[in-house]
Amino acid sequence: MEQNQTKTKIKTFYLKFYSIIKIFVLLILFLLTSCEKKYDKVIDPIQNKPPIISNLIAPDTLNLSTDTLKIIISIRAIDYDGKEDIQSVFFNSYLPDGSPSRSNPILMYDDGNLIVNGDQIANDGIYSRIIILPPNTTKGKYRFEFQAIDKKNARSNIINHFIVVK
């Protein structure tokens, strides 16, 4: 009889122990699933933002003379991923007949080299380029298309500008 009572006690102990473990596991599962925050979309903390160009400084009209004209064109470029993320700032130029210039794309510089590139201050976010127009330049309306690209090849907005050469 004592043996039966011992078996019953052991059985009861295991049933209680099993119930406690089961409740503990269910509680853990409940806490893990109910505390989870739901998101509508996946947020990538390493998202790349494209550069932005603005504040173009360029003439609207140029009058040719017997001397070669040198003009400086400048544009601001920023990248919210850091200025070191900008790979290049450039423009494409289009002749009065609409055909692209053979020199496209034409790089702009933020190197502080005023004499060679027309840039006054290095690393200030303002990119510049000297354009040289000899006296025999074709007269007409030229289109300039400015853009920047970052190191992940994201492209900025485009700014179009027209210069009339007379």
Asked if residue 23 and residue 94 are part of one domain, the reply reads no
Inside any domain, residue 43 = no
Nearest residue to 82 (alpha-carbon basis) of 60, 121, 51: 51
Asked if residue 151 and residue 83 are part of one domain, the reply reads yes
Asked if residue 59 and residue 11 are part of one domain, the reply reads no
Tell me which residue has tokens 């609409």.
Answer: 98
Asked if residue 58 and residue 32 are part of one domain, the reply reads no
Beta-sheet pairing, 61-62 with 159-165: parallel
Asked if residue 59 and residue 31 are part of one domain, the reply reads no
**Per-residue model confidence as pLDDT tens digits over 81-131:** 888 999 999 999 999 999 999 999 999 999 999 999 999 999 999 999 999
**Per-residue model confidence as pLDDT tens digits over 26-69:** 767 666 666 555 555 554 556 889 999 999 999 999 999 899 99
pTM comes to: 0.71
- The domain of 114 spans 52-165
